Structure 1
Amino acid sequence: MLLELRQLRIQPGQQLLLEDVSWQQFENILAELGEHRAARISYSHGFLEIMVPLPEHEKAKEIIGDLVKILLESRQIAFESLGSTTLKSDRMVQGVEADACFYIQNQAAVIGKNRLDLSIDPPPDLAIEIDLTSRTQLDNYQILGVPELWRYGKQGLKMNVLENGKYVESNFSPTFPGIPIIELINQYVQQSQVSGRTQAIQAFRNWLRDNI
């Protein structure tokens, strides 16, 4: 007997890993899951992971995304924020949904686009993942050619920058040169968990006003 996806119940914080999933099956699963869902997906060479994030995951995602937007706007940098848009390429047999992604240098290339195909479209300039638990996601972004990947976990923010097709860990962001991104993200995410989002965002705006 074959199970259908609608019969599966994945609890927040848990993952389901499926093997030997063809590209067409992956596309069918995406269509069946739909766009309005809590689950996140990651696909790489036949391995499909479906994950349902915890509430604290969503809070961190929102505050970090807001901090990035405020920073870009404060520097008058044009960008497109595509949230958890599915990033996929049948040519590279990869698919992943970031917690947040930003087109900055390539923002003009995706204006007005509701769906992306990284076989022809450029990858986002910056992708953000919260509590990275998948064993394939780092490879996904590397193969898809995402220049900069931020991962926020229990130990704080880590940044990976693409160099010669491979990710290397970096303390500095090419997107925001001269700005202590790791220190700022860690500080204001932690502050949001103590004093709330509004106070953390205002404190961050004050820091930008005084330092940038």
Structure 2
Amino acid sequence: RFEAIEAVFSEVAGIRLSYLEGVVEIMPVSDEHEEIKSTLGCLLEAYLRAKGMRYYVRGGSSLGSKDDSARRQPDESYNIGTKKDRADIAIEVVFTSGGIDKLECYRRFGIPEVWFWQEGSLRLYALRKGAYQQIFISQFLPDLDLGRIVAVANLPDQYDAVTSFMDFLHAGKGTAKESEIDG
């Protein structure tokens, strides 16, 4: 049934669909949502490049199947190090409350880490022993300065946010390559 609904909405711009246990969520996607999603992606990718870490952008492709009884499109998702069948990190930008349990969807998909951006802050969750627990340091990127990410992501201009963060990284802060830069 979800596939039929998904087919109907496939050509409708600005709509994101999710499904969990027979409940379909239809969410409009705003310009503000897309801007912060893109800014977070740019910041994460700048960090990964500065660290010399391989990464693979998986984007917002639908995750899940009938077997999972769930389907969801993350705002962004990444593999760190190598390409894998599932994303290592999924990023969600949240502008509304309620709806389906997003973490439950990701649990069913086996996504190890989920980042939620909501009301100007970032919360991270790691899948441990079959349940998500809030974490304060990324298990994939333990040296990432999340406070700096939040500070620059809250700047009113995307270009300024990314430029500020790149300057921070090139100054040798927040990167393990500091000795190589000074070297």
Which bin holds the TM-score, normalised by the shorter protein? 0.7 to 0.9
The CA deviation string for residues 131-178 of structure 1, in whole angstroms up to 9 with x for no partner, is 163332121011211100000011510000111111000110011112
Corresponding residue for 1:18?
Answer: none
Greater mean deviation of Cα atoms: 31-40 or 151-160: 31-40
Number of residues of Structure 1 aligned to a counterpart in Structure 2: 171
SS of 1:205's partner is: helix
The residue correspondences of 1:1-212 to structure 2 (distance < 5 A) are 25-34=1-10, 37-107=13-83, 109=84, 122-131=85-94, 133=97, 134-181=99-146, 183-191=147-155, 193=156, 196-210=157-171, 211=173, 212=175
- Distance in 1 between the 2:90 and 2:164 partners? 24
Look up the equivalent residue of 1:163 and give its one-letter code.
R
**Partner secondary structure for residue 123 of structure 2:** strand
Q: CA contact under 8 A between 2:124 and 2:138: conserved in structure 1?
A: yes
The CA distance in 1 between the partners of 2:9 and 2:134, in whole Å, is 34
Task: Calculate the TM-score normalised by the size of structure 2.
Answer: 0.86
**Larger relative contact order (C-alpha < 8 A, sep ≥ 6)?**
2
Q: How many Å separate the matches in 2 of 1:82 and 1:203?
A: 25
1:29 alignment partner, SS class: helix
Q: 1: CA distance between counterparts of 2:123 and 2:129?
A: 19
Q: Give how far 1:32 is off.
A: 2.3
Calculate the aligned-residue CA RMSD, in Å: 1.6
Q: Any conservation in 1 of the 2:76–2:92 contact (CA below 8 Å)?
A: yes
Q: Counterparts of 1:35 and 1:82 in 2: how far apart (Å)?
A: 21
Cα deviation for residue 105 of structure 1 reads: 4.0
Structure 1 spans left out of the alignment, 5+ residues = 1-24, 110-121
- Matches of 2:13 and 2:74, distance apart in 1: 14
CA–CA separation in structure 1 for the residues paired with 2:118 and 2:80: 24
Using the aligned pairs only, state the percent identity: 26
Query: 1:77 Cα shift?
Result: 1.8
Measured in 2, the distance between the counterparts of 1:36 and 1:68 equals 29
Q: Secondary structure of 2:59's match? A: coil
What SS class does the counterpart of residue 128 from structure 1 fall into? strand
Distance 2:55 2:81 in 1: 8
Shift of 1:35: 6.1
Aligned amino acid, residue 168 of structure 1: Q
Is this contact kept in 2: 1:103–1:125, CA < 8 A? yes
Task: Read off the aligned partner of 2:145 and give its amino acid letter.
Answer: P
Structure-2 separation of matches of 1:168 and 1:187:
24
Structure 2 SS opposite 1:175 = coil
CA contact (8 A) 1:63 1:189 kept: yes
